[in-house]
Structure 1
């Protein structure tokens, strides 16, 4: 069902907008519209422009709650704006001091890590770095060279060059040190440069001792710095945890105030007699609008007009669905297709009943149905998943049809069939011979659903005053008469009443088809529009003939689509027959229960998924396409409830 909406225009002194929003409007769900767009005929209208004063402090509060992690069953308390702001400012100041100290330690850590990365490739070097870099007659160069160039260096250059290279570490590079006399320094450096030797400078005042000793010393310093950083982070965490409830409460308060302040984005201002007034426009449910009007009737600074005349409103009302709890999970399927427009029927209850019923008919098994029902309902209870509730409801109907078919975990002889066995029951059709009963019933049931959706289409068309879809289209009265006559005819032939079926065929088929073929000119005539036929008449009749042929094909294909209901009922018994055969249940010997369990699990999962998709396809393509547009827009409450302390 769709809640009835009322359009509200609210106005008052500009300076009073926050009081009205937080004291009155925040208590109700209101879908706000842009007042500038709705009141474009009002003179001297201007947007309400003002900077949100809560955003900066709210950003800090959100940062603090992010550091605290998820809100785990904290009971939030009522907190005033002043207290919330003071708390966030105080925590911000204290955390800022801790962050400054932490940042200093992070800078130290970055420098130590850089030094560790410089020293670590040279750990195998036995000499003291400070002595190596201060030789009197020999220069020392630390660095790395790519492997391919190092091999070329050893093969072609090393023996003829006055230098000694000491490798320390190898990965994709060879890390090491080369020594060169002062007198040959420029020549040797040039050769190494040509081989892409990358120098690393270790001439630092605090590099004393071997690389291993320097590395160990740096690791000790790094551990000490990491310990300090952890201590500062712990201090910050404890500081926030101590006021966790207040921080989350402040965040909720500031978030609500910030959202409510942003009401100005959709508000407008108008100046009257040297005073400026705000104007807010939006939608409330009829129930809320009555309560709101009653609450503000004694407020002298607040004026509200509740609009009943839809022709004075420039925008389509939003859609808010309201269904009984048992049907509410099926709203998920409606939203996937598109919300109903405000003047459309809400098909939620129709989908809930038909989806569950058809699923059960296609997947009738007592045992597997109970598994789906129990598992789905438990999952819905624990996780509150709409899909789980749908699976649970479908499982209930699977169980019911399991009793109708006499099927229990694939065993067809444990319980008696209350109706029939899908793979065995046959029905004699005059002129066609024996046909599977489930197939025949599925087609008849499908024809009934198609007729029902045509009635829904006519109701929607009456609501929107669409003459063509009331009378002349393939899903209107003409289509209903034609398809209804076809259904009656088929039933008469099945039951052996051929003569009256022929009369119905002649009288009730031809006239509706002619009207459907001429729907456009007839609609224009009824609506008193001219010309009745646009363009050439010959071309129109040719085009209409082929369109009528397409309509006839669509009737046939839509009807035959419901054969899949019977097909899956039969295939379920066949698939479980294979499982029982593999388990040895049909040979009379010992039964392999592991195969029975695994086979049931496989069939339940795979066939349950396929059937669920196929039923949804029937809903969308064979039923929704006849009466449902799904062009509505969702009702989205703009405001948040704000608790205030006085």
Structure 2
């Protein structure tokens, strides 16, 4: 169901807004609206402009909390809820964050300096690592005056060509230092006069130059070992400082979390100012705030009772004197769903499609019942149904997964239909079917012949659901005062009479009864179709509009004929769509029959491993397919007839849960 909402306008002295939020609004859930947008008829309103003084402190506290979560143990994290629940006044919270930030910055600066040193050393190691086998003094090489040199790397395929065809005819020495699957690292020497020509040759071989800084001492190996040792020392210092920083945050964990919670509450209060408006009172310095928002009817009355003795706050609840008067707001009331725990998981499907509008019916209970029932009929097996029920229940209880709750409810109906079908993990000889066996039970249908009984029952059940959805559509349209969708639409009273007449006629034919006379059939079928054909002119006539018939009447008739064809086709296709219920009931029994056949059931020597694996496979694969198919029926065959899902979510500025 959708909780009934009340629109509140709360006002009081501007300086008193924090007290009101902390004392009263923090105890209730209120969906705030922008007061300037809502109170457009009120003159001389100004925005409540103040800079949030807690924003910087909150960002710092949040940074500390993120750091704590990144390395804290489960024991430390368990203290979060307790610490956040501690009450801390604003001055203490701000002083705590400032004090901790000062000490933290010193440790963090040391850590950052060491991190920069590590980066520098790592870069030096990266450059010299491929040349560490070079047994020459690096600093001496870098001081050569008459011999040019280059450090770099060359692709293996180019190096092989260079070595085979060019190297012996070129005035250069190439010293190979290292290699991997793709490259060979090394350096080449060349006399000064030949440097440009040799450089061009190396470039043609895709030689990539590597810059070698003059900071290295000794041979390449000695320089590499010195850098590696230096890195080890810096890394040790870095880890020590990091551990000190982490230990510092852990030692102040409770203070940080309590301060963060206190500052977050105060910062949230300042965020409310963005939605508030200000107006002047009688005195020159009298300025009052105005807050607008939605509360549930229960909370609104409790709130009004709570503030009745407070002379500094005044609250108006729109429509309180006359419940039939809608509040004059620019937005429809937000939607807050309230359903029993059994139906709560199915709200996930409603949210996926779209929340119901405030004046629309909440279909959660309808989805919960029909989804579970149809799933059970399509997946009728007592054993597998019990597994779904138990597994889904445990996951929902301990992990709070909404889909698991849906699976658990569906498993109950799967078990029930398994008993009705006489199926237990695919075995159909353990107990007799209380109703029928989907694969074997047939019935004779006039004009068609023999047809599986579950197909006929599925179509009949689907026709009943379609009629019920039409009733829901009429109720929703009545609430919205939508004349067309009450009387003349495909799913209105006219559509209900037509489709209901078709349902009754089919039932009469199947049971061997004769149809009513021609005049009655015309009333049952002809008049509703005429009303649907002329729905727009008839709606205009009822609503007393000046223009009843459209100007281009020829186009209106042609368009109406095509729409009528589409209407009749949709009635037919939507009805046949429910055949899938019976089809999956039969296919499930057939798949389990194949599993038992593969397990050697007919020979009398059962392979229980095949039975277990087959049941798991069928439960997983067909359970997923059936779940999707049932959801398709809900969305396309049922929701499309009565449900729009155009509501907006009720979002309190500070949830009380």
TM-score, scaled to structure 2: 0.91
- Structure 1 residue 407 displacement after superposition: 0.6
1:589–1:640 CA distance, 2 compared to 1 (3 A): closer
Distance 2:217 2:558 in 1: 100
**Map 1:373-388 → 2, pairs under 5 A:** 373-388=389-404
Matched, 1:634 2:649: yes
Q: Which runs of 5+ in 2 are unaligned?
A: 71-75, 320-324
1:179–1:494 CA distance, 2 compared to 1 (3 A): closer
Distance 1:260 1:292 in 2: 18
Matched, 1:298 2:309: yes
1:517–1:225 CA distance, 2 compared to 1 (3 A): same
Matched, 1:143 2:171: no
Distance 2:379 2:478 in 1: 37
Matched, 1:213 2:222: yes
Distance 1:179 1:447 in 2: 91
Give the structure 2 partner of residue 286 of structure 1: 297
Distance 1:297 1:202 in 2: 79
Distance 2:519 2:443 in 1: 25
Give the structure 2 partner of residue 619 of structure 1: 634
Distance 1:124 1:541 in 2: 91
- Structure 1 residue 102 displacement after superposition: 1.8
Distance 2:297 2:656 in 1: 20
Give the structure 2 partner of residue 474 of structure 1: 490
Distance 1:621 1:173 in 2: 60
Which of 526, 532, 550 pairs up with 1:510? Answer: 526
Q: Which runs of 5+ in 1 are unaligned?
A: none
* Range 528-537 or range 503-512, more displaced: 503-512
Residues 483-540 of structure 1, C-alpha deviation per residue, up to 9 Å, x if partnerless? 2222222222222221448775344222222222222222222111122211244443
Q: CA RMSD in A?
A: 2.3
Give the structure 1 partner of residue 262 of structure 2: 253
Give the structure 2 partner of residue 496 of structure 1: 512
Give the structure 2 partner of residue 80 of structure 1: 89
Give the structure 1 partner of residue 537 of structure 2: 521
- Structure 1 residue 579 displacement after superposition: 1.3
1:173–1:514 CA distance, 2 compared to 1 (3 A): closer
Give the structure 2 partner of residue 591 of structure 1: 606
Give the structure 1 partner of residue 242 of structure 2: 233
* Range 76-85 or range 126-135, more displaced: 126-135
Matched, 1:348 2:336: no
Give the structure 2 partner of residue 2 of structure 1: 2
Contact 2:29/2:656 (8 A) holds in 1? no
SS of the aligned residue for 2:118 comes to: helix
- Structure 1 residue 174 displacement after superposition: 4.3
- Structure 1 residue 166 displacement after superposition: 3.0
1:348–1:124 CA distance, 2 compared to 1 (3 A): same
**Map 1:60-459 → 2, pairs under 5 A:** 60-69=60-69, 72-74=77-79, 75-76=82-83, 77-130=86-139, 139=147, 141=149, 143-147=151-155, 148=158, 152=162, 155-156=165-166, 159=169, 161=171, 164-171=173-180, 174-178=184-188, 184=191, 186-194=192-200, 195-196=202-203, 198=209, 200-204=211-215, 207-273=216-282, 274=284, 275-308=286-319, 309-459=325-475
Which of 560, 573, 578 pairs up with 1:557? Answer: 573
Residues 347-391 of structure 1, C-alpha deviation per residue, up to 9 Å, x if partnerless? 000110010001101110011111111111111112101001001
The runs of at least 4 consecutive aligned structure 1 residues that moved more than 4 Å come to 130-135, 137-140, 157-160, 171-174, 177-180, 499-504
1:422–1:152 CA distance, 2 compared to 1 (3 A): closer
1:266–1:589 CA distance, 2 compared to 1 (3 A): same
Distance 1:187 1:334 in 2: 82
Distance 2:23 2:647 in 1: 31
1:243–1:335 CA distance, 2 compared to 1 (3 A): same
Matched, 1:574 2:583: no
Contact 2:148/2:195 (8 A) holds in 1? no
**Map 1:10-29 → 2, pairs under 5 A:** 10-29=10-29
Give the structure 2 partner of residue 44 of structure 1: 44
Distance 1:124 1:103 in 2: 33
* Range 14-23 or range 354-363, more displaced: 14-23
1:132–1:491 CA distance, 2 compared to 1 (3 A): closer
Give the structure 1 partner of residue 559 of structure 2: 543
Residues 584-643 of structure 1, C-alpha deviation per residue, up to 9 Å, x if partnerless? 21x23311222211211111111111111111111111111111111111111113669x
SS of the aligned residue for 2:78 comes to: coil
* Range 43-52 or range 381-390, more displaced: 43-52
1:632–1:4 CA distance, 2 compared to 1 (3 A): same
Distance 1:555 1:640 in 2: 45
- Structure 1 residue 462 displacement after superposition: 0.9
Distance 1:212 1:415 in 2: 83
SS of the aligned residue for 2:435 comes to: coil
- Structure 1 residue 296 displacement after superposition: 1.0
Distance 1:398 1:30 in 2: 41
SS of the aligned residue for 1:29 comes to: coil
SS of the aligned residue for 1:410 comes to: coil
Distance 1:209 1:550 in 2: 89
Residues 394-436 of structure 1, C-alpha deviation per residue, up to 9 Å, x if partnerless? 0110000000000111111111101111111122334443322
- Structure 1 residue 238 displacement after superposition: 0.4
- Structure 1 residue 130 displacement after superposition: 4.7
Residues 191-237 of structure 1, C-alpha deviation per residue, up to 9 Å, x if partnerless? 44333463644544xx4433222222221111110010101110110
SS of the aligned residue for 2:547 comes to: coil
Distance 1:568 1:624 in 2: 22
